Structure 1
């Protein structure tokens, strides 16, 4: 994923840059400044903008997939406990929303993937991985039509997270909790 500690530092700085000024502000120099490194450090590791975008897409997708995998492990320990699934998912989403740079970066890189086939491949792999994780949770919980429900749930949760970013910070938790309850209970198929 990130490789060396220096690469990790650069990728974290890239997430900070995109999270604060957007993808248009992502330059090698901006990453160097955000990382507190001498000019030219980022370009020594990632020579082109495409290399930077590709590394960031892999990094962000990997970090978020790890979070979702950990969530699935907890939910799978209690199959069919939809209340717990709501609570654990809420905790993950609120964590992402309290420090939204990672989430914002994933959203921006996902949209950039529509114009950059190399990024689209990574995003497609990320989507397949998430669908597999959530489908497994649905199967273990003995939900009908697990693949279709997983796909719908993921699409809806993307929408909830995107909308939550536009909510005032003090309203996010309430909005996300209400939305997750509606989604999970309606898709549980019980």
Structure 2
């Protein structure tokens, strides 16, 4: 594994465990078992460390969620399998709450750092754009609005289960929730296909 990945993965774990205040160059070195100064040699400033961490987090989330966003072999999205694939993506996010907590920390920090906001927004498009494409393929009359709503639904569900007072839904409950969401967006006939 590359040293930059070790540093970023350690930073992700520290963000989840200690929050933004607990993320320092020294803390990363200590937690990763690296010689003092290793992290600052790789990411000279705090901003550089945050950017490195966000880039790695985006990469890890894209890998974890790739199955939910991939089209089927014939180039389309199988509406019969879509709710199960999206439920699986949510289940993956819920099962790795540390990664999701780190993303929340970075999201809040991005509201105060324009340079991080730009990276965060680009990363968000990697997840929103496929949602829009999936909904367009299913016949949404407004795939952009519905794609945003689907992402907002997913984020709200994750936040409630991880940081809020909500319970963690089962994979079956997640699939039913996705089916109900699609029914509301696409109408009953299209949702039956999903």
TM-score range, shorter chain: 0.7 to 0.9
Q: Distance in 2 between matches of 1:141 and 1:179?
A: 17
Does the 8 Å contact 1:14/1:31 carry over to 2? yes
Unpaired runs of at least 5, structure 2: none
Q: Distance in 2 between matches of 1:62 and 1:41?
A: 22
Are positions 1:5 and 2:11 aligned together?
A: no
CA RMSD in angstroms, aligned pairs only: 2.3
Q: Provide TM-score, normalisation by structure 1.
A: 0.85
Task: Give the match for residue 139 of structure 1.
Answer: 136
Q: Specify which of 180, 183, 193 is matched with residue 182 of structure 1.
A: 180
Q: Distance in 1 between matches of 2:128 and 2:102?
A: 20
Unpaired runs of at least 5, structure 1: none
Q: Distance in 2 between matches of 1:110 and 1:152?
A: 18
Are positions 1:14 and 2:14 aligned together?
A: no
Q: Give per-residue Cα distances to partners, 1:23-78, cap 9 Å, x unaligned.
A: 11001111112212122111110111111011111221232234444311156754
Q: Give per-residue Cα distances to partners, 1:74-114, cap 9 Å, x unaligned.
A: 56754322xx2222222222222222111111111011111
Q: Provide TM-score, normalisation by structure 2.
A: 0.83
Task: Give the match for residue 58 of structure 2.
Answer: 61
Does the 8 Å contact 1:57/1:109 carry over to 2? yes
